[in-house]
Amino acid sequence: MSRRRRMARLARRRYTTKNQFTVDGPPLDAFFNNAALRTVFDALWAQTKSTASPAGRCEYGCYITLDTATGMYGITPPIEGDPYPVNSTTVYSNLTPPRPPDSSVVPSVPHDPLHPTNAAVYVVGHFHTHPPRERWQIPSRVGPSGGMGPNGGGDEEFVILSNVQTPGIVYDYVAMGDIPEHVPPRWSRDNPRKLYAITGPNNNYHPPLLRRPTP
């Protein structure tokens, strides 16, 4: 039996089983440094500011995807969060679990042992914005929120939910003033902003991604 035929037989045997295997997800730096993603994040931040009004405000967000065939990052359709009163300190999550499913891995033709599986698209992260605080009468905390929320957790807890398990990024204002990690009351919507990493309460932001079994 030729070497090529032996390799093809091995590829069929290894990749047409029902066993799952894992691959590593990208680090958070890959999201921060990606120009295409930054353009999306900036647009959702601008939308967050433009829709805030005396009547209320909301957050916007999306999941981040990675196409392993091209190495390109993308997003799921942006989600508009639940509106909440402009003077309220209650935050409603704009990303309702579970995360969207990863695409299936489909075996390639048996005579191609060097490429035994076609590439898959994975959900590798999530992003959302925090809204302006122009009408807040007290200092407000910036960056990832903690504590339990209506969908199972604040920003930090959301990262480690069993049906999410992805790192996150939140767009919010740069902390200023006398209180660490806060901005003063009636903070202008046009003040400096930044991206914050959401790493979870135990810095658990880089779990492996589960590659789906062959159907």
Q: Are the CB atoms for 65 and 73 separated by under 8 Å?
A: yes
- Distances in Å between the Cα of 134 and the Cα atoms of 58, 87, 108, 118, 214 are 13, 9, 55, 50, 51
Length of the chain: 215
pLDDT of residue 94: 59
Q: Measured between alpha carbons, how far is 37 from 52 in angstroms, rounded to an integer?
A: 23
The amino acid sitting at 46 is: A
For the chain, the first-to-last Cα distance in angstroms comes to: 30
Tell me phi and psi for residue 129, to 5 degrees.
Answer: -105, 160
pLDDT in tens, 149-192: 444 457 877 777 767 778 889 999 999 989 999 999 999 999 99
Q: Measured between alpha carbons, how far is 34 from 15 in angstroms, rounded to an integer?
A: 32
Closest by Cα among 169, 177, 176, 170 to 192: 176
Q: Measured between alpha carbons, how far is 22 from 208 in angstroms, rounded to an integer?
A: 6
- Distances in Å between the Cα of 30 and the Cα atoms of 37, 43, 44 are 10, 19, 19
Between 201 and 190, residue with greater pLDDT: 190
pLDDT in tens, 119-158: 678 888 889 999 898 888 899 999 988 754 444 457 877 7
Tell me phi and psi for residue 53, to 5 degrees.
Answer: -150, 175
- Stated pTM of the model: 0.77
CA torsion, ordered 94, 98, 100, 101, to nearest 10 deg: 170
